[in-house]
Structure formats: C-alpha cells, structure tokens
Amino acid sequence: MSSIHPSACVDDKAQLGRDVEVGPHCYVGPDVVIGDACRLHNNVTVVGATRLGCNNELFPGVVLGTPPQDIKYHGGRTELIIGDDNIFREHVTAHPGTEVGGAVTRIGNHNRFLVGVHIAHDVDLGSHCILANAVQIAGHCRIEDCVTMGGMVGVHHFCTAGRHCFVAGLTRVTVDVPPFMIFAGEPARVRGINANGMSRWDFDEQSLQNLRQAYKLLFSRRAITDEPNNLLKRIGQLESNGPLDDNLRYLVTFIRRSISDGVYGRYLESQRHDTAEDRSDFYNQQLLEKPQP
C-alpha cells in the first residue's frame, strides 16, 4: 500500500504502483506514472508525461518532467522515461524530449545522479552511470552504460560518451568521448584507459592490456606527436596488428564514426534535422515585442 503525506499533492489521475512513498510538500501531476517501491522525499516535483520504473529514490528538490529549456519546443506531449533503481540526489532536474528531437528523454537503470545534476531534453542515458555534483548534460546527448563523470563536467549538446569511460571533474566536453578511456584536462583529451573503473566491472587483465596498447598507439603523447592530425591512419595501424577483440572493435567503430560521419567530432550532430523554422516562433515573437525606437 502506498503512503502519501497529507501535505503532498498527488493528482487523482496519476498512477502510483505498490508501496510508493510520497513525502511532505511533493507534487505529482496527472500524467505521471510511478512504479512500485519508489520513494519521493519531501519537496519533490514530478510532472508532464513522466514514467518512472520501480525502486527509484528522489531526494528533496528533485524536479522531473517540466518543459524543455529549448526554444524549438512547441508545447507538444513529449516524454521522460526512467527505468528502475535510480537515485536522484538533491536538486537533480531532468526534462522530457522535444518534437524535433525524438520526443523522448530516456534514463536507464541503476544510475546515481548526485546533487545538482541536469539532464536536458532528448538525452539517451544508459545504465550503471554515476554523474557527480553539478554535471550538466545538454540536449540530444547520448551517455552509454557504465559512464562516470566527476563534478561540474559540462557536456555540449549532441555529444556521446562511450561506455566505461571516465570524464574527470571540471572537464569541458565538446566532442565524443571514446569508450574505455579517461577524458580530462584543458584542452580536454584522452589521457589513458579507465583501468580502475573497468576492473570494478570485472574486465580481465588481457582485455585491459589490449586497451592499454590501443591507447598507446592512438592517443599517447608520442602517437600524437608522430601523427598529430591522422587518427584514422593510427586506427588502420591498430587493425593491421592482428585480430581485434570485441572491446577494440567497438572502440575503433566508435572513433571512426565520430571522425568520418560526425560534425565537429560529434556523431549525433550529423543526425540532427532541426531547421531555422523550428526556432522561428521564438524569434518572431521577440521581434513583435521588441520596443520600437
């Protein structure tokens, strides 16, 4: 049986599963679906077409499902879909999608979002990720499984962070981050393999050694000095060294896609299909309201 604090406002049309806890001064809107055993601490807001799976925990100040902060959004019914066993710490925000971006923001399972994380419209975020305090994920990004980001990371729209990568705190991410790698510094670049993170996920030593050798050939300071502007050539050298295991094949595919098919180093940028007309309502309205000289 669910428990709803008397001061909470839960719309009669909202759908709550079994054993849901809704704390003081929460608000749950009419189109919200909350799965079994979710817990909303005090002062949580969940609105819009937001669907949560089971066993999610939302700490004070979390706001889910309010309209996207995107001038291309025209008020349509778009969704925020969240899986199971996620933890949203204080003041995390996540927005639904936009009409031109696929209309859905997706969050997987077993993620931890620490204080002040923002997940913008049309983001596709996988499972088993840890985003530390004040990480800001812009619209249309893809965060693959088992990604860890340090505090105050800022991710440019249409970027992809590959699985098992680690992005160090305060890093400015404007290009796709290769899987299995550490991305850090100013300017940000690949600094090594995420050996500690992958060891926690039971990567065997041979897989780690293969990735270390790939890093040396593709991203090490010596490799960059010898072939500064030809990562694709270095990938060819890696492939010519012998058969690649599954992780190396994925690494190579990911990098080649970002370079060959991407725009500004972002593969998803090449997939965008919004136009100037999608923004015209905003600017036309501003022109109408602009004071005349």
Residues annotated as catalytic (active site), given as ranges: 121-122, 139
Q: Tell me which amino acid residue 189 is.
A: R
190 and 207 in contact (C-beta within 8 Å)?
no
Q: Tell me which amino acid residue 67 is.
A: P
25 and 7 in contact (C-beta within 8 Å)?
yes
Q: What b/e readout covers 84-123, taking b as 16+ CB neighbours within 10 angstroms?
A: bbbbbbbbbbbbbbbbbbbbbbbbbbbbbbbbbbbbbbbb
The whole-angstrom separation of Cα 95 and Cα 86 is 16
Question: Within the chain, what is the greatest distance between any pair of CA atoms?
Answer: 71
